[in-house]
Structure 1
């Protein structure tokens, strides 16, 4: 097969030719996927050492600029670099806030070595994509995916997502079972729908079939309803022996929403989140001649996405959304939620107008209602506890998305609640989603013996907060002037802080430097010139002597 490919015959054509010559694919000893992976491994031998080394040098330089930059590279038995993963410090902070749901797509490839480009994507508090990292993979084997998921978890403090969306791939499924044992695996319905157009070409264009097919995906609220709907579709269109549908049915727990309503998924039903990100990659791939150029474009687009997020943050905090009705609970929602999520909340609240409630049980603590939306037959059960304000609905919108449904909000209206109970405000959807991410650093001090790790955590927090401030300030000269003035003021306060002075003296005594020299904004990992370093040390020594004399004088008094 390798020889056939070398003379210009396509890999797939070569595979089917050999299978035909052998009397069937089962007689040649390997699958089409095995062949593709093998040929991709051969291409790795052609990867120019210059390209791989340039990428490695770039990652080392980024880590030198920021110790919280993470990269991992896998090599083969010949010490050749094969798989790459990286994420910057901001991606780690974003994962702390929005890492409950991850979309992972491997449908995009770079155009020089045909490496798989695998962005790892989430959704932020503005219902926009956020990048958690990216990988170059040589092949789609279980071993490669295991390595990637382990590297990803290591970079994120071993915090597993609640849900991961992927396309259908057996090797990927096996790797998720091995590494992401606490994560719910969901399949991308966009890819399934695309495959359906091929495997059910004669039926998929018919509206009556498509309606029943789509109901099996998104229109069922329990397993029994799904089973009845599926059986009805199979029987009506005589599909009992359809092999693709039988295979699809065997993985129903991964794509039918009825099986996962109790698991948070941010109501994402498809990896179209990463599909839209891949649109960005497709735009830059035509410019990409080598790996390092691709990474540079990735970083540029990431910066643009983060600036757009900051602009949304600014709009949320400096402008009130339109409120359709003067209502206490709506005003509260407008105050806490981002503009995008408030519109969703308002839609649910206003949708409660068409919900009819029937009380079926009531005592001093618990009320149970049956809710029916006008024009529909489905009955929802809503339970409300008057002492704790706990509410639950059989539609499970809060469990799957983190937003109260119209049925629960209707009960709140009946009970005259004028604000959202605090335990039903999911922080990831609020304006303060990123506030205080690392404010709990002290909890690590009890379990960690590595002060350098604690310093890295504090540095991450400062860099995250600083990045937001710098991006906003850089929009104008006046904003830049304000921030520079405040930075100078902060530096003066640090020079007078005895705890900081003592720590620096201790580091100096044991000949250890901090991650960043707080009296010189140049990071230590980018060493200053001898002249600059001399001036910094002289200034620091002078300030230390002044502070110590003042402290001694105060003690004498």
Structure 2
């Protein structure tokens, strides 16, 4: 877990929804994405309770175990004690809220609005996921409150006050790897359930938990081995950029980029201002509302888009790919190839994991 966090601990999910014994002691799981976008566990702890003091101890101990290396972003549920502790221990990192838990809380507090064919959940999800612009979000939120006459709802008021932690137009400012939920992977949930027998004592629990980690490690190494044996299928074999990245990215990540690459066929230039030193384009997308502004420097090939997909996930968007195509840029510049998504990083990680494993066997 220490090695995994060293390589992949830039974005972390903290899930505290597990309980392990009759006293309902919460099990906290720190997890994230590896270079295959697979779920990987960074740490786990049993808490006595869910107070600010306990969460403060949890965060401090986690950092101590990982040599004070802090993530850039952490996702949690909507627990106020946890949020307070996180702000005290790691005030500089971005704190995002799990959208799944947020939606469940919304149903709990506003369940009467979801009955009889109501579109409330759809409208609420649109505010959460479907709006990129902050002004448009504020307008949609006002319409939502008016349409359902919920101006005085205290849960909505408190949720709106922390909108920077969950609304897409605000979270796009943070590096998230595309993570939105603490329920990072169904595989982690199913794995953990194996050792969740409430009759187990602490020693038995962690023995079972260690076996879960060993099984998960085996599957990770198998995925790494299989990724080395073949290159992913190209949807456009004549593309120099796709050929380039199929050999650099891990297969899962390459397929995500390839989806964006294919989407650029459905984009078009609505407006352009090709005045040195910075060219500017307004890009539209067929069958999709909205427009995106792309800036391009022809001398450095630096590019940026208002959707901020690269800043969030480390992968370029279809709008940027469209402008590269217009400017006849056929190979992706190195500064837009994030190391954490590459096969090269996988080789390094794989080598260290096996060296560590072999050393334990010898000892």
Extract structure 1 runs of 4+ deviating beyond 6 A.
none
**SS at structure 2 position matched to 1:164:** strand
Q: 1:289: which partner in 2?
A: 200
Q: 1:169: which partner in 2?
A: 79
Provide the aligned C-alpha RMSD in A.
Answer: 2.1
**Unmatched 5+ stretches in structure 1:** 1-90, 438-460, 471-515, 524-557
Query: Which structure has the larger Rg over C-alpha atoms?
Result: 1
Q: Which residue of the other structure, out of 208, 213, 235, is the alignment partner of 1:302? A: 213
Query: Is residue 308 of structure 2 the alignment partner of residue 419 of structure 1?
Result: no
Deviation for aligned residue 1:308: 1.3
Deviation for aligned residue 1:306: 1.4
**SS at structure 2 position matched to 1:285:** coil
**SS at structure 2 position matched to 1:268:** coil
Alignment of 1:536-547 (within 5 A): none
Distance (Å, rounded) in 1 between the aligned partners of 2:15 and 2:211: 20
Q: 1:17: which partner in 2?
A: none
Distance 1:136 1:406, change over 3 A: same
Q: 1:450-499 CA distances to partner (integer Å, 9 max, x unpaired)?
A: xxxxxxxxxxx98534257x6xxxxxxxxxxxxxxxxxxxxxxxxxxxxx
Alignment of 1:33-44 (within 5 A): none
Contact 2:22 2:198 in 1 (8 A): no
**SS at structure 1 position matched to 2:230:** coil
Q: 1:132-170 CA distances to partner (integer Å, 9 max, x unpaired)?
A: 010010011111111111111111121111111001111
Distance (Å, rounded) in 2 between the aligned partners of 1:351 and 1:462: 36
Distance (Å, rounded) in 2 between the aligned partners of 1:185 and 1:95: 18
Query: Is residue 31 of structure 2 the alignment partner of residue 121 of structure 1?
Result: yes
Contact 2:15 2:29 in 1 (8 A): yes
Richer in strand (by share): 2
Distance (Å, rounded) in 1 between the aligned partners of 2:150 and 2:258: 42
Distance (Å, rounded) in 2 between the aligned partners of 1:378 and 1:400: 19
Q: Which residue of the other structure, out of 56, 66, 72, is the alignment partner of 1:156? A: 66
Q: 1:267: which partner in 2?
A: 178
Distance (Å, rounded) in 2 between the aligned partners of 1:176 and 1:331: 43
TM-score w.r.t. the length of structure 1 is 0.62
Q: Which residue of the other structure, out of 38, 55, 59, is the alignment partner of 1:145? A: 55
Contact 1:112 1:289 in 2 (8 A): no
Distance (Å, rounded) in 2 between the aligned partners of 1:222 and 1:413: 26
Contact 1:355 1:373 in 2 (8 A): yes
Richer in helix (by share): 1
TM-score w.r.t. the length of structure 2 is 0.94
**SS at structure 2 position matched to 1:284:** coil
Contact 1:253 1:260 in 2 (8 A): yes
Q: 2:289: which partner in 1?
A: 377
Contact 1:384 1:391 in 2 (8 A): yes
Q: 1:254-285 CA distances to partner (integer Å, 9 max, x unpaired)?
A: 11121121210011111111675233222321
Deviation for aligned residue 1:522: 5.1
Deviation for aligned residue 1:291: 1.0
Q: Which residue of the other structure, out of 267, 270, 273, is the alignment partner of 1:358? A: 270
Query: Is residue 89 of structure 2 the alignment partner of residue 179 of structure 1?
Result: yes
Distance (Å, rounded) in 2 between the aligned partners of 1:462 and 1:318: 16
